[in-house]
Amino acid sequence: MNNKILAIAATLMLAACGGSSSSSSSSHAQPPQEGPANDRATVQVLSNRPDLVSAGDVLIEVILKDAQSAEDLILRLNNVDVSSALQATPNNPLRLLGLVDGLSLGENTISSNIGNSITVINHPSGGPVFTGPHIQPWECQDGAADEDCNQQVEYLWLYKSSNPTLSGLQPYDPENPADDVATTTTDTGETLPFIVRQENGYQARDQYSIFTLHKTGEDWTPIQPQSQWNRRLLVTHGGNCRGDHDTSSPRTDDYAGTIPGNPLIEQSYITALSMGWSVLSTAQLNLGHNCNLSYQAESLMMAKEHFIEQYGELRYTVGTGCSGGAITQNMIANAYPGLYQGLLTTCTYPDVMSTATQFADYHMLLRYFGITADNPVAPTSRDGTVYAIPQQNEIYGHVNGIVNATVADTALFGEAVDPASACGGVSAEERFDQDTNPGGVRCDVISFMENMVGERERVPAADPLSDRWSQIEKDLGYGFAGFPLGNEGVQYGLIPLQEGTISPAQFLALNTNIGGLDPSLNVTAGRMKADYPALPNAYRTGILNTIVNMDTVPIINMTGPDPGAAHDAVHGYWVRWRLEREFGHRDNFVHWGGLTALVGDLNYMNQSLVAMASWLDAIEADTSVTPLAQKIITNKPADVQDQCSGVPGEMCPEELMTVFGTPRTQAGADKYGDQIQCQLKPFSRADNYGLGNTVWQEADWLLLEQTFTTGVCDWSKRPLEWQRTVTWLKYQDDKGDVITGGEQMTPADFPAGWASPAFSKTWEPGWQQP
């Protein structure tokens, strides 16, 4: 029997005898007793689901029945004794933890001679675990050890200076300590030098970083972490939406370049460190580098597993971020619940596809009106119809519609969705060009998430008379990644027509000539029909956030007036309104408004971290069997509530937050922002086309009927192919081949090390009720 288990057994036996005894050690020389072998030790994995483990190691828990069991225990990995990895936890000698390494790729058996055995499936450090085959090509960083971009972990030291003119964290040399190190007092009351250790490593073919308030020269193990750590984890993200094919660095700033930094306002990750939190980020959680929900969720899961294995069990995990950082949090919380226990969202969008729909409409409208970056004002459209600037803004649904649309198109939509745009890791020679390199790498984000949306069906069952492939696809012999969006039946400018803002002639010209988009982002004469299976898969996978799984996470959302820069205030309301639609309330969603554009107040991010901690602490203390969704509501502190510029009790009026619409709400759509393709109803002259103020000619009616041959949008119904997001999808089968659109994983218990027991929820295929 190994010395570590002997020491545990001796401690337990001494405690049972009430003191020390030299004679009690004589039994240690006896061979261990094998029986009964099924009830004296319980073995489980703490750091992840047993079937999703990666990188060759795993944190194991063994709960012993009594002191004798400690003496008899043998823990084996694939029949090899690994008992020496176990240590008793400081406050419970019958609870043993151990980091077991040396796992083989694939199935492994971890067994106890006096208890149960478990099967652990180990995946490569570079992945994939559940996302499907690696996207190719991929360019690793300089110094990578292999094609999975693995590299030796490095540790850097940083500190917070007591000099108020130095913001942020400064490099620190433990061998030559700085003399201006500030002190900090954690939320547990411990005061210590503000020194931080940063761990940089690679997983899932990309970089991660972990920051911990650290005492130099003192050990930190997952069984006994340093005392200043409060077992809370903050996860940071990044903005925009891109699909790079190379490694990058994580983002730690709250606003991800969306708004200029303010040196007077400490970044929340530094505030979190000062309070005793740890901070984690991965490059793939930066939406501006990796705009693929499944890759993001896998990256976060792998990073959390590694964190727990190296630093210890977590009480809870909170996300924070603006713009794309809000998108990532919202999508993961809905599609992979349990990875976060709380969300802090700012400059909010609910998901990728809601945003893409609005921006696709902008793209088509801009081209119809003839507006480009070089020609920002064009009163005459491409068909010669004249639209005054206020009329165009009414059609966009925004008081600064032309500016808002132009920013969205040039800074976001065009580069993200154009397959010929540049992306990291792909040279100009490798990249797609519809004329010179039609088989090249497509750098658009739709191609980047092909595992979720799938290849375009050439003849979809929903439209059996059409051939959907472009000539390029026919020549290549395969379809491109499907575009879930469609504008079939959308009557652009319907509300302005009904209100008399635009004329029937303008409405008619706009709708007969706006057209659609092809897979290469060229404007087409015909309307854009959503691709299959991409359209249903958008809802199924969660890249269009149905919100149906988000009642089990507290959210504090921060909103400011609409700046007219493609970050509409209404996007945060989409989350709020969808919660109200799906659950009849939004009691897990707290809305903070203020007068600072986008974010409400620059102090909110740090204040919300404190507020969220108080909320999660209260939930954590609730050990009842009450469902988690109800615990979140019941245990919300009285001072964590809606507020307007610091005044508690009510959210700022929508007029103050300048909540505007979109081209689809101006076409009569509902307010929820998830109509990426509407259901259709027959065109009817009896509908409201402003007949009280205008007279339509027969030729006009005939042209409208021809334009809307298949029908017009029926906004009273759910979007076409709407379905509930399915949680915890995997995109690969047992052979590693892709499962397009995903398949739900086998149900499993919430990993015990991810959060305190109060946050537990079993993932089951049917737990989300229709």
Of residues 361 and 414, which shows the higher confidence score? 361
Residue with tokens 């030790």: 41
Which tens digits make up the pLDDT trace of 728-741?
A: 999 999 999 999 99
- Please answer whether residues 377 and 389 qualify as being in contact, where contact means their C-beta atoms are separated by less than 8 angstroms: yes
Question: Is 451 in a helix, a strand, or coil?
Answer: helix
Residue 22 per-residue DSSP state: G
Cis, peptide link before residue 36, omega less than 30° from 0: yes
Which tens digits make up the pLDDT trace of 354-394?
A: 999 999 999 999 999 987 666 666 678 888 999 999 999 99
β-strands 92-101, 86-89 pairing: antiparallel
Of the candidates 545, 544, 576, 511, which has an alpha carbon nearest to the alpha carbon of residue 713?
Answer: 511
Which tens digits make up the pLDDT trace of 693-730?
A: 567 889 999 999 999 999 999 999 999 999 999 999 99
Whole-angstrom distance, CA of residue 348 vs CA of residue 324: 8
Of the candidates 582, 588, 528, 589, which has an alpha carbon nearest to the alpha carbon of residue 718?
Answer: 582
Q: Whole-prediction pTM value?
A: 0.94
Write the CA distances from 732 to 131, 294, 298, 429, 607, integer angstroms.
6, 11, 13, 31, 41
Residue 726 per-residue DSSP state: P
Domains of the chain: 3-123 (2.60.40.10), 148-351+545-659 (3.40.50.1820), 354-540+662-713 (no CATH)
Q: How far does Cα 639 stand from its chain's mean position? A: 28
Of the candidates 757, 737, 733, which has an alpha carbon nearest to the alpha carbon of residue 745?
Answer: 733
Token representation of residue 302:
């792998």
Of residues 415 and 23, which shows the higher confidence score? 415
Whole-angstrom distance, CA of residue 729 vs CA of residue 292: 13
> Is pLDDT of 559 > 50?
yes
- Please answer whether residues 568 and 660 qualify as being in contact, where contact means their C-beta atoms are separated by less than 8 angstroms: yes
Whole-angstrom distance, CA of residue 590 vs CA of residue 319: 15
Whole-angstrom distance, CA of residue 117 vs CA of residue 75: 9
Handedness of CA 65, 67, 68, 72 (dihedral sign): positive
Angle at the Cα of 284 from the Cα atoms of 254 and 554, rounded to 5 degrees: 50
Residue 564 per-residue DSSP state: S
β-bridge partners, 62: 43, 96
Write the CA distances from 435 to 7, 192, 451, 520, integer angstroms.
73, 63, 26, 11
The pLDDT assigned to 263 comes to: 60
Mean pLDDT rounded to a whole number for the chain: 91
Alpha helices, H only, 585-712: 604-620, 628-634, 698-707
Of the candidates 47, 39, 84, 85, which has an alpha carbon nearest to the alpha carbon of residue 63?
Answer: 39
The pLDDT assigned to 316 comes to: 98
Read off the pLDDT of each residue in 460-488 and give the average, rounded to a whole number: 92
The pLDDT assigned to 724 comes to: 97
The pLDDT assigned to 4 comes to: 53
Task: Work out the pLDDT band at 85, boundaries 50, 70, 90.
Answer: very high
Which tens digits make up the pLDDT trace of 266-290?
A: 788 999 999 999 999 999 999 999 9
Write the CA distances from 518 to 415, 448, 452, 522, 681, integer angstroms.
15, 17, 20, 5, 24
